[in-house]
Amino acid sequence: MAAPGQKVVLITGCSSGIGLRIAVLLARDDARRYHVIATMRDLKRKEKLVEAAGDAYGKTLSLLTLDVCSDESVKQCIDAVKDRHIDVLINNAGIGLVGPVESISMDDMKKVFETNFFGVIRMIKEVMPDMKKRRGGHIIVVSSVMGLQGVVFNDVYAASKFAMEGFCESLAVQLLKFNVTLSMIEPGPVHTEFEMKMIADVSKKEFPGTDPDTVNYFKNVYLPSSVDIFEALGQTPDDIAMVVVVSASRMEQGKLFHQPGTAKENRVDWDRRPREEGIYSLVSFADLRGRAGV
C-alpha cells in the first residue's frame, strides 16, 4: 500500500522491456516518491521484474494481473487498487506487426488495434473519471516514432499509433480543465523482446497472397535494413524508462511531450523545438491553453 505522500503509479505491460524498466526505476526512486503497481497479463512472467526490483518488491512495488484487451480484467484490476486512486497511469503495453499487408489476416490487424489503441482507451476510460473528480492526475502513453511517421511494412502498427496520437492530442485539451496532464513518449527503435517477437513471427510466415516482388522487397531489403537500423540507433529500455520517469516527476509542468527518439542525441530533448526541423512536435501547455480557451 502507498505510504502517505507517495504517488500511486499504475503501469501496463511490465513483464518485459520498457514497462519492466519503468516499474523498477520508479519503485527504486531514492526519494521513495512512488508506489508502483506493475501489471501484466500473466503473473507467471513476474520473475524478471521481481528480480530487477530487488528489495523494492513488496514495499514500493506491488503486482496485479491486467490484460488491456479485456474490459473485465481492466475493471477488476482498477477495483483492486485502494479507493481506485491512481495518480499516474502509464500505458505501455503494446504489440508490433510487420509484413506485407495483403499477407496479414484481419484478425491479426484487429489484435494490434485492440491492444495498442483500444487497450489504452479502455485504461483511460476506467481511470480518468476519478482523476477528473479529484482535479489531478497524469496519464502517460508510450506511443512510437511510428505514431508520427509511417514506416514501410509497418502499416498497421503505425496506424494504431497514429490513432493513439489523434486520440490523446484531442483528449489532452479537455483534460487541461481538470488539471489532468497527458504526456506521450515516442521512442525510436529500442532493444526489447518486441523486436525479437517480430523477427520470430515473420521468420515463420509464408506471406500468402503476396506477389514475389513484394516478398523479396520485404525479406531481402526491409528486414536486413531494419536490423541495421536497430543496430545503429537502438536505445535501451532504460533510456526510454528514464524519459518516462522524468515526465512523471515533472507532471506539474503539464506539457504534452513528444519524444523524438530516432536519434540518440535527441532522446531527452524536451524543450528544443521542432516543426521547422522535422516531423516531431511538442505542444506546450501554453499552446494547449490558448487553443482550449482555458
Ligand X SMILES: NC(=O)c1ccc[n+]([C@@H]2O[C@H](COP(=O)([O-])OP(=O)(O)OC[C@H]3O[C@@H](n4cnc5c(N)ncnc54)[C@H](OP(=O)(O)O)[C@@H]3O)[C@@H](O)[C@H]2O)c1
Residue list for the binding site for substrate: 144
Q: How many CA atoms lie within 13 A of 55 on its CB side?
A: 2
DSSP state of 190: B
- Residue 123 cell numbers, joined: 485504461
Q: Is 154 in the site for ligand X (CB under 6 A)?
A: no
Catalytic one among 157, 217, 222, 280? 157
Q: Is 69 in the site for ligand X (CB under 6 A)?
A: yes
- Measured from the CB of residue 115, what is the shortest distance to ligand X in angstroms? 5
> For ligand X, which stretch binds (CB under 6 A), given 17-25, 99-107, 202-210, 212-220?
17-25
Q: Which residues partner with 261 through β-bridges?
A: 187
Q: Is 260 in the site for ligand X (CB under 6 A)?
A: no
Size (the chain), residues:
294
Give the CA dihedral 144, 69, 106, 18, nearest 10 degrees.
Answer: 30
Residue numbers in the known binding site are: 13-41, 67, 144, 161
- Measured from the CB of residue 250, what is the shortest distance to ligand X in angstroms? 20
- How would you classify the pairing of strands 180-185 and 88-91? unpaired
- Measured from the CB of residue 96, what is the shortest distance to ligand X in angstroms? 6
- Residue 18 cell numbers, joined: 520498457
- Measured from the CB of residue 186, what is the shortest distance to ligand X in angstroms? 7
Residue numbers in the known binding site for NADP(+) are: 13-41, 67, 161
Give the number of other Cβ atoms within 10 Å of residue 125's Cβ: 12
3 state DSSP class of 218: helix
Q: Could you tell me which of 24, 14, 15 has the C-alpha nearest to residue 238?
A: 24
Q: Under rule CB under 6 A, which residues in 23-52 are in contact with ligand X?
A: 40-42, 45
- Measured from the CB of residue 69, what is the shortest distance to ligand X in angstroms? 4
Return the number of the residue (140 or 256) whose C-beta is nearest ligand X. Answer: 140
The runs of H, that is alpha helices, within 8-70 are 17-27, 47-53
Q: Is 67 in the site for ligand X (CB under 6 A)?
A: yes
Among 78, 95, 158, 256, binds ligand X (CB under 6 A): 95
Query: 115 near 95, Cβ under 8 Å?
Result: yes
Alpha carbon 127 to its chain centroid, in Å, reads 16
Told to judge if 157 belongs to the known catalytic residues of this protein, a careful annotator would answer: yes
Q: Is 153 in the site for ligand X (CB under 6 A)?
A: no
Q: Kind and range of the H or E element at 238?
A: helix 237-249
Q: Is 17 in the site for ligand X (CB under 6 A)?
A: yes
Among 94, 99, 100, 260, binds ligand X (CB under 6 A): 94
Q: Is 282 in the site for ligand X (CB under 6 A)?
A: no
Q: Which residues carry out catalysis?
A: 157
Contact footprint for ligand X (CB under 6 A): 12-13, 15-19, 40-42, 45, 66-69, 92-95, 115, 119, 142, 144, 187, 189-190, 192-195, 197, 237
